[in-house]
Amino acid sequence: MGIIQRQGIKNSVVNYFGAAIGILSTLFVYDISDEATAAYGLIQYIKASGLLFLPLANWGIQNLTVRYFPVFKTEDRKHHGFLSFLFVAASLAYLVFALLAFVFWDQIFAYLQSQREEMEEGVRYLWYFIPLTYLLVLVNMLTNYISNFQRIVIPAIVHDLFLKLVLPALILLFAYGFLSLEWIVRIFLLAYVVIVIFLLLYLHRLEELHLHRPQAKIWEHLRPMADFAGFSMLGSLGGVLALQLDLFMMGNMSDLFDTGVYGMAITITMVITIPQRSIMNITAPIIADRWQNRDTDPIQTIYQQTSLLLLIAGLFLLIEVAVNFPDLCSFVDNETLLGAYIPVLILGAGRIVDMGTSVNGHIIQYSERYRVNVYFIVFLGAVNILLNLLLIPRFGMAGAASATAFSLIAYNVLRTIYVQYRFNMLPFTWSTLWVLLIAGLAVAIGFLLPTTSYPLLNLIYRGAAVAVCFLVPVYYWKLSPQFNDAVKRILGGKFGS
């Protein structure tokens, strides 16, 4: 758990810094004008389109980077030419996708344009998602490959933090007339090119950028790799449909302004998941390696420890948002952002369940039972499509958020039940119940505290009260030794390497 804590803490610090930039941008940049909000919505719509089609563009190749690295790992760091194989396979898969996209582009364009007349301007730029998809393929593949060496901080800086700086700068340049809408999209794609270059340079610095011809051992495992990649592709596609479809469908079924506001809600809830993303990235190669060696005891330990740690972090952040969000909007005088409050709470509830069930997806994905993931997620993807179609026209942003939250909760309930049934592993302990009870008490106190006519004062004293009511009992009763150790590391500034 030591490497998980060290890398997780450092990565979370980087991501919180990026989140702070994202929140400031949401408060002061993306709402600077209706046109700026719509431009932000367009960028989110194009990115959501790229993410939606990402599984079809990579054929599950990126999932091979972690699952099969322990199989091909060698002391000379050439790893039987595994990295070269990944580049070639991913590029060939993308070329097939791009060809199909261009062949059927007229039908795709006509369908999207028919969804809503107001989306005509957005659809004009939609084709940019095709090159963006390839860049996403490379970024994800390289990030996963680097995680095999227990390095997740630099990729987080290069990817998340860099984009957090680029996007508000582009929106400001657009708002003040220095850039057109088309140039915003073009430069946004160029930022991903820069990210790919930096990731390659970082691999070179780690002395792991070895592009050698794939050796015989690669081809010996081609059939099982193809089988794993195929099921991973279906699982990833189902995951996109189940968990990332909301923003894309908002772009089709609503206007760009509402899409931009909903994108702000997603940005805020992503702050809650920062610890989860850090821990998921660092635990993936560890769990894959343990499955390769048939060593399940450490997996069970990681499962329970990360579940409690993530639940504490997620609940604390969601409670703070729930109690203080209206005062924050009043303090910055942002009525547009206040419209995202309900979607934030709904999405946040779904994220908490996802965090509390921890690495159940990794446990299934890197085991011999990885096919089961596909059955769960494809079903839930279909359910989410239906819920979005039913709820967005009637409830707008709240409907999209409800569909995604339901998908997250149902999906994780199914995965947790399966992991307990098949592997006899459960993420919850009695400490889990105590953390939930303390969280319920803290949020009740937060809402019962009287408010003043000064939003900043409310933010300070209510935020501090909630923090004390939640964090102090959790720390004092030592419900999570890993949480206590993380607090000591943060306060002492001792993060290790």
Q: Tell whether the model's pLDDT for residue 497 goes beyond 60.
A: no
Quick one: how many helices (H) and strands (E) in the chain?
Answer: 25, 0
Longest alpha-carbon distance in the chain: 72
pLDDT one-digit tens code per residue, 125-142 = 778 888 999 999 999 889
- Please give the Cα distance from 303 to 299 (Å, whole number): 6
Task: Count CB atoms within 10 A of the CB of residue 364.
Answer: 22
pLDDT band per the 50, 70, 90 thresholds, residue 240: low
Q: Which long-range contacts (CB under 8 A, 24 or more apart) does 217-224 make?
A: 217/72, 217/80, 218/72, 218/80, 218/81, 218/82, 218/85, 221/68, 221/71, 221/72
Residue 453 backbone phi and psi in degrees, to 5: -85, 5
DSSP states along 96-129: HHHHHHHHTHHHHHHHHHHH-GGGHHHHHTGGGH
In the predicted model, what is the mean pLDDT of residues 375-402? 86
Q: What is residue 264's DSSP assignment?
A: H
pLDDT at 275: 86
pLDDT over 70, % of the chain: 91
Residue 246 sits at the vertex; the CA angle it makes with 167 and 182, to the nearest 5 degrees, is: 35
- Kindly report which listed range (33-42, 239-248, 284-293, 322-331) carries the lowest average pLDDT score: 239-248
Who has greater pLDDT, 201 or 258? 201
Dump the DSSP string for 185-209: HHHHHHHHHHHHHHHHHHHHHTT--
- Compute how many other C-beta atoms are within 10 angstroms of the C-beta atom of residue 325: 18
**Residue 244 above 70 pLDDT?**
no
pLDDT at 238 over 80: no
> Would you state the pLDDT for residue 480?
94
pLDDT for res 413 = 93
- What is the pTM (predicted TM-score) of this model? 0.78
- Output Rg (C-alpha) for the chain, integer angstroms: 22
pLDDT per position as a tens digit, 175-231: 888 888 888 889 999 999 999 999 999 988 988 888 888 888 889 888 988 888 888
- Outline where 157-296 has alpha helix (H): 162-175, 181-205, 216-220, 222-243, 245-253, 256-272, 274-292
Across the range 431-454, mean pLDDT stands at: 95
HSE of 474 in the Cβ direction (CA atoms, 13 Å)? 32
Amino acid found at 397: M
Q: What pLDDT, on the 0 to 100 scale, is given for residue 116? A: 47
